[in-house]
Chains A and B, each alone.
Chain A
Amino acid sequence: MTRPVPRLAPLLALILLVAGCDDPMVDQAKYEAYEKAELFPDGKTNQPPVPGTIARGQLDYFATLRQRPPLTRALVERGRERFDIFCVPCHGRTGDGDGMIVRRGFPSPPSYHTERLRNAPTEHFVQVVTNGYGVMYSYADRVPPADRWAIAAYIRALQLSQDFPVARLSDEARSRLEEAR
């Protein structure tokens, strides 16, 4: 007569050994950002807040959006950094609208160096970053309000760089310009 239990014992031992390889400390019973979540019906760890939720700091967010910050060198430098990340792919380094993505076939955005955009209020650029414009998507989820003002300030600097009377340049800047010519 065979004895089923002792014959299966080595197999059982092997299963237990293999199970030991799965370390419960490595994959704990918690969700990390972007992990698939079995708990929620849509399977996402990152759940949207309940509709109507006001997040902590959200009132400041909207206040910053309405309130134009003072123009400082730091603001313009921050604006240049953010412009180079988010705007340059299409608008180009100088804002002519000939960025790398445009050269690959994306519809060309208008140059900043036109009468219409020189006369546009600074708020206009903040609005475009916030809401998008034409085929340009909104960047509201990637660029926080303070940075939108910084980008707008830098666009003003870019406009000035392409539209400044030579007579008003400092002597040093003018001689460097003459040399470059």
Chain B
Amino acid sequence: MAQIFPPVADTCVKLAGIAVAVLVVGGLMVAGGAVRSDWLTRVGVAPDQPVPFSHKHHAGELGIDCRYCHDDVERSASAGFPPTKTCMTCHSQLWTNAEALAPVRSSFTTGEPLAWNRVHDLPDYVYFNHSIHVAHGVGCVECHGRIDRMNRVAKVHALYMSWCLDCHRDPAPHLRPPERVFDLDWQPPADARALGSELVARFGIEPANLDSCYVCHR
């Protein structure tokens, strides 16, 4: 009796098996919320860094303004990543023999930048601009959380598009007066929406246009 199935049928069965397994596992991950879990989005997970820099110490305990180091945040898309010289402004005099700062001193003498690991990295098809946000009353805390309480920085939001759109469609409850943008302690008044609506008008924000594709994707 001739064979009903050719030898290649074995491969087809195995491939089909893999496809079904991928669909089942993937389906379960979507249904169970695993794809939105902190484990995958890295929320609350601080990456290792070449130097154990503490924002809690510098921004919290010492009270140094965010802009002392991130000095481009008001005029550029990038908040500005401090060069080693900025660290050495103080550490040429303070903790000059500290073992933890050895990579900083080495970077300063060789000119080789410190290779920090990014915490917030948007996909390349998103055009985010820090300066427009801080100029229109979006505080640092709104996206980055209480950086001044973090020894090692981790994301507090997953940076989903839906999360961006929530604010772009209804910015009022998220806005603060311009002089409070860098104040990590600021608490909104009881009626945050009333203040926000006034700020939306003052800054000339047009929520009706803020969820157009081209605002973030160009």
Pairwise interchain contact A137-B94, C-beta atoms closer than 8 A:
no
Most A CB within 10 A of own CB, among B22, B77, B124: B124
Knowing A25-B123, A25-B124, A137-B85, say if A17 contacts B22 (CB, 8 Å). yes
> Residue on B with the closest CB to A8?
B11
Among B36-55, those with CB < 8 Å from A are none
Which of B60-68, B147-155, B198-206 forms part of the interface with chain A?
B60-68
Knowing A10-B11, A105-B93, say if A25 contacts B125 (CB, 8 Å). yes
Pairwise interchain contact B68-A28, C-beta atoms closer than 8 A:
no
- Proximity bits, A1-37, B CB within 8 Å = 1, else 0: 0010011011001100100000101111010111010
Interface of A is mostly: loop
B218 close to A (CB within 8 Å):
no
Pairwise interchain contact A142-B124, C-beta atoms closer than 8 A:
no
B162 close to A (CB within 8 Å):
no
- Proximity bits, B64-79, A CB within 8 Å = 1, else 0: 1101100100000110
> Residue on B with the closest CB to A33?
B78
Most B CB within 10 A of own CB, among A14, A28, A104: A104
Pairwise interchain contact B18-A13, C-beta atoms closer than 8 A:
yes
- Proximity bits, B162-201, A CB within 8 Å = 1, else 0: 0000000000000000000000000000000000000000
> Residue on B with the closest CB to A34?
B81
Knowing A6-B11, A10-B14, say if A28 contacts B125 (CB, 8 Å). yes
Q: For B65, what are the chain A residues with a Cβ–Cβ distance below 8 Å? A: 84-85
B90 close to A (CB within 8 Å):
yes
Knowing A13-B18, A17-B22, A85-B65, say if A6 contacts B90 (CB, 8 Å). no
A142 to B83, CA, bound (A): 11
Among A56-99, those with CB < 8 Å from B are 84-86, 89
Interface of B is mostly: loop
B213 close to A (CB within 8 Å):
no
Q: For B67, what are the chain A residues with a Cβ–Cβ distance below 8 Å? A: 85
Q: For B83, what are the chain A residues with a Cβ–Cβ distance below 8 Å? A: 141
Q: For A177, what are the chain B residues with a Cβ–Cβ distance below 8 Å? A: none
Give min CB distance, B123 to chain A, whole Å.
4
Pairwise interchain contact A100-B63, C-beta atoms closer than 8 A:
yes
A54 close to B (CB within 8 Å):
no
Pairwise interchain contact A135-B71, C-beta atoms closer than 8 A:
no
B27 close to A (CB within 8 Å):
no
> Residue on B with the closest CB to A25?
B125
A45 to B125, CA, bound (A): 18
> Residue on A with the closest CB to B123?
A26
A110 close to B (CB within 8 Å):
no
**A25-B123, A34-B78 known; 10 other A-B pairs, CB under 8 Å?**
A9-B11, A25-B125, A84-B65, A89-B63, A100-B63, A104-B62, A104-B94, A135-B92, A137-B85, A142-B68
What is the interface of chain A, defined by CB distance below 8 A to chain B? 3, 6-7, 9-10, 13-14, 17, 23, 25-28, 30, 32-34, 36, 44, 84-86, 89, 100-101, 104-107, 135, 137, 141-142
11 intermolecular pairs with C-beta atoms under 8 Å apart: A6-B8, A10-B11, A13-B15, A25-B124, A36-B115, A85-B67, A86-B68, A89-B62, A89-B90, A106-B90, A106-B93
